């Protein structure tokens, strides 16, 4: 069959055979966030393009070449390419800062980036996000990191298959000096850098640190540590001590710079050892102490994380982590003969009203075909309605595992089944 329409490149349907797994990880994420004191926030898919240009950064790959932007009238819109900026926008728009204190917000959202798709990377992907707004202390960083690792472990991933990579990239006070140092380093080795990095040197020199192509050269680039201001150094040391206390293991990755401009101080990623192919970052995040002010709010420290839903699922499957089976229905109502069909439908409704999952044939098929369907749905019981049952207002219940049959009145059907499930 020739397909006239198909899903766009990099966009995928989630079919029933997979959707129960999505529901599973989503519900685990919600429960996990609840335990850590987060509340859900939902923001629109579309925002003004400027929001992301201001926050993620004009020179970032995301904004400069991956964002879906379109114009309608005077306004330029963007489909959200990440989750943090909209949350901060909403935080400001609704004056949440006025309520004081720390706001912990979580979300589940699609996001859009016009990249060439590959394993674990799609044009529409989904993200579990968590943001802590209003907390400057490294306690917040430590809790966030512990929460993220805790999430992966409770899903059944093991510590030896995950790697938490941690870095600090300083703040507006100390980073400029470091940026200059990296830029100078780049200039000294200019001819050995790839074209991309030669261009980055002027716009965003830190990005040369996470270029794989230039890894051999940038390996000997100056580390940030001597450049950190006292506050940043203390913050980072404090965080590392807290992680030790919590027994959260991590590796320092001095090259972890990240591609979004709003990050300050703490940056991190969690890498999966297997299952993802080349795109092996399960999640990424960090602190963005300047973002709230950048978007027009009061100076407010904040931090957050984005976890790739597709990547999480791919990893769980690759690692053979325990995953739930789809829930079968409880009963399949089978009608023998035309006269029984309306009664079968009515009985199915009766079962559903009793919170049971019931199905019946909607094509008026033969008894044999109905039994086949009953078997295929995985129903525990088949409810058989024929002439005899019609006469006596009864139903024959067949246990499809044991083949046992029981006859009882239609009125007590639901109770009987509920008592046995």
Query: Other C-beta atoms within 10 Å of 16: how many?
Result: 7
Rg of the Cα atoms in the chain = 28
For residue 72, the number of C-alpha atoms closer than 13 Å in the C-beta half-sphere is 8
Identify whether the C-beta of residue 239 lies closer than 8 Å to the C-beta of residue 141: yes
| C-beta of 204 vs 238, nearer to RNA | 204
Those residues whose C-beta lies under 8 Å from the C-beta of residue 210, and which sit 6 or more positions away, are 255, 256, 257, 258
Identify whether the C-beta of residue 135 lies closer than 8 Å to the C-beta of residue 223: no
State in angstroms the smallest separation of the CB of 163 from RNA: 12
The token pair at 216 is 């051999």
| C-beta of 292 vs 385, nearer to RNA | 385
Query: Other C-beta atoms within 10 Å of 301: how many?
Result: 21
State in angstroms the smallest separation of the CB of 418 from RNA: 20
| C-beta of 142 vs 382, nearer to RNA | 382
The token pair at 22 is 């999505």
Identify whether the C-beta of residue 301 lies closer than 8 Å to the C-beta of residue 350: no
| C-beta of 11 vs 231, nearer to RNA | 11
State in angstroms the smallest separation of the CB of 114 from RNA: 8
| C-beta of 173 vs 213, nearer to RNA | 213
State in angstroms the smallest separation of the CB of 251 from RNA: 15
Identify whether the C-beta of residue 10 lies closer than 8 Å to the C-beta of residue 122: yes
What are the residues binding RNA (CB under 7 A)? 1-2, 6, 9-10, 12, 60-62, 82, 113, 115-122, 125, 127, 196, 207, 210-213, 258-260, 269, 277-284, 306-308, 310-311, 336, 365-369, 371-376, 382, 384, 386-389, 396, 398, 400-401, 403, 405
State in angstroms the smallest separation of the CB of 245 from RNA: 26
| C-beta of 2 vs 160, nearer to RNA | 2
| C-beta of 250 vs 336, nearer to RNA | 336
The token pair at 353 is 């009203």
State in angstroms the smallest separation of the CB of 310 from RNA: 6
3-state secondary structure of 47: strand
Q: Which long-range contacts (CB under 8 A, 24 or more apart) does 203-212 make?
A: 203/59, 204/57, 204/59, 204/60, 204/261, 205/179, 206/169, 206/175, 206/178, 206/179, 206/182, 206/257, 207/257, 207/259, 208/182, 209/182, 209/254, 209/255, 209/257, 210/255, 210/256, 210/257, 210/258
| C-beta of 283 vs 295, nearer to RNA | 283
State in angstroms the smallest separation of the CB of 62 from RNA: 7
State in angstroms the smallest separation of the CB of 363 from RNA: 9
| C-beta of 399 vs 415, nearer to RNA | 399
State in angstroms the smallest separation of the CB of 63 from RNA: 11
Identify each DSSP E strand in 259-357 by its residue range: 264-272, 281-287, 302-308, 331-335
Phi, psi of 300 (to 5 degrees): -145, 120
């Amino acid at each position: 069959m020739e397909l006239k329409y198909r899903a766009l490149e990099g966009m995928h349907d989630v079919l029933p055979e997979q959707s129960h797994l999505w529901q599973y990880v989503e519900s685990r994420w919600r429960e996990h966030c609840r335990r850590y004191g987060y509340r859900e926030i939902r923001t629109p898919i579309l925002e003004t393009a400027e929001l992301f240009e201001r926050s993620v950064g004009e020179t970032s790959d995301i904004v400069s070449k991956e964002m879906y932007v379109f114009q309608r009238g005077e306004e330029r819109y963007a489909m959200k390419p990440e989750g943090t900026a909209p949350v901060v926008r909403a935080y400001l728009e609704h004056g949440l800062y006025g309520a004081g204190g720390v706001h912990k917000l979580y979300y589940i959202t699609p996001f859009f980036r016009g990249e060439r798709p590959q394993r674990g990377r799609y044009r529409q992907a989904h993200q579990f996000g968590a943001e802590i707004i209003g907390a400057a202390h490294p306690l917040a960083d430590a809790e966030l990191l512990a929460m993220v690792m805790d999430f992966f472990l409770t899903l059944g991933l093991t510590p030896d298959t995950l790697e938490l990579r941690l870095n600090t990239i300083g703040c507006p006070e100390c980073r400029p000096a470091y940026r200059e140092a990296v830029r100078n380093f780049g200039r000294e080795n200019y001819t050995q850098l790839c074209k991309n990095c030669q261009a980055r040197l002027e716009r965003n020199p830190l990005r040369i640190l996470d270029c794989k192509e230039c890894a051999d050269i940038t390996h000997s680039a100056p580390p940030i540590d001597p450049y950190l201001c006292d506050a940043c150094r203390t913050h980072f040391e404090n965080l590392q001590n807290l992680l030790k206390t919590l027994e959260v293991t991590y590796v320092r990755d001095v090259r972890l710079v990240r591609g979004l401009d709003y990050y300050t101080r703490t940056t991190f990623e969690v890498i999966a050892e297997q299952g993802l192919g080349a795109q092996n970052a399960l999640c990424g995040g960090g602190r963005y102490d300047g973002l709230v002010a950048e978007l027009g709010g009061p100076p407010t420290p904040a931090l957050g994380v984005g976890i790739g839903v597709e990547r999480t699922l791919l990893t769980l499957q690759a690692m053979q982590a325990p995953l739930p089976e789809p829930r079968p229905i409880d009963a399949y109502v089978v009608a023998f003969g035309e006269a029984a069909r309306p009664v079968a439908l009515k009985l199915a409704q009766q079962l559903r009203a009793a919170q049971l999952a019931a199905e019946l044939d909607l094509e008026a098929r033969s008894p044999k075909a109905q039994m086949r369907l009953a078997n295929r749905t995985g129903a525990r019981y088949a409810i058989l309605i024929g002439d005899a049952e019609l006469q006596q207002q009864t139903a024959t219940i067949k246990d499809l595992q044991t083949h046992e049959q029981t006859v009882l009145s239609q009125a007590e059907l639901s109770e009987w089944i509920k008592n046995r499930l």
